Amino acid sequence: MSVTDLPDWRNALPWPGPDAHKHARGRLGVVSGRATRTGAARLAARAGLRIGAGVVRILCPPDAAPVIAPAIEAVMLTPFASDEALAAAAREMDAVVIGPAAGVNDVTAANVRALAETGAALIVDADALTVFRDAPDDLFGLLDRDDVLTPHEGEFRRLFPDLLDTGREPAAREAARRAGGVVVLKGRATVIAAPDGRLAVNDNGTPWLATAGTGDVLAGMIGGLLAQRMDSFDAARAAVWMHAEAARLFGPGLIAEDLPERLPAVLSAILAGLHANRA
């Protein structure tokens, strides 16, 4: 199934109803790196909150808590000292982002394994992808169809070294089949593939996204939609489009911190369009 066969993801966006409360709108966890590597998690968490998750909590090593606490407001914070403690904290989450600045080490691998047992939908990004480069099947064995991998081309080649020579679209489709989850192959025309064969190519990419931290924001956006129980494939393609649209609206001078603050305008325009179409 290609993009031309797919229903518009806008119709699946999780708008809150009149009786909504924060827990009904979904709970997102974001795993932080150590004290000197907390910015990526904060970017992802703020993006998840802006895109509508009702509760967003950063899960961090104990040494990172004094760094993160003064830098957040509506985002909550829970330190954890072991992979078991991380799993316990994540069991109340609907979705968890892991990987941004997490560290390419045994701790990150253990944390991914622990999170896979919680039932939360996982968004596996950055270091949490690279840490499995020598054993990609170990990662794939942890995933289910609700989970999302978000590699750029370098990370994609580490997990699927034989695929990109076939072209980005067939490579993403085969990667999703092998992994058993949704694959977001980032780039100028980001390709989103589901293990059931669905495929979409994003049509509004912009070079303003070529700056550090924008991938962390995208991971948080996908996580925020998954926390609201949106279908993983639809959540990924919706987040990719809105991510680029927010960057386009900002234009020159964009840095990653600007993206979450542009999301309300993007969401409002989508909602207005839906109302106009129904009128």
d(C-alpha 220, C-alpha 164), whole Å: 26
Tokens (6 digits) for 180: 């058993």
Residues with pLDDT less than 50, the chain: 1-2, 4
> d(Cα 148, Cα 154) in Å, to the nearest integer?
17
| Amino acid 231: pLDDT | 98
Fold exhibited by the domain 25-201+211-278: UDP-N-acetylmuramoyl-L-alanine:D-glutamate ligase (3.40.1190)
pLDDT at 7: 75
In this structure, what token pair is assigned to residue 114? 């622990």
124 touches 159 (CB < 8 A)? no
Q: In what order do the strands lie in the sheet with 199-201?
A: 76-79, 55-60, 27-31, 95-98, 121-124, 148-149, 182-185, 191-193, 199-201
Helix 83-90 and helix 106-115, axial crossing angle in degrees, nearest 10:
30
- Residue ranges covered by each domain of the chain: 25-201+211-278
What pLDDT is attached to residue 5? 60
In this prediction, residue 259 carries a pLDDT of: 98
Q: What's the confidence (pLDDT) of residue 1?
A: 42
Which pLDDT does position 190 carry in this prediction? Answer: 98
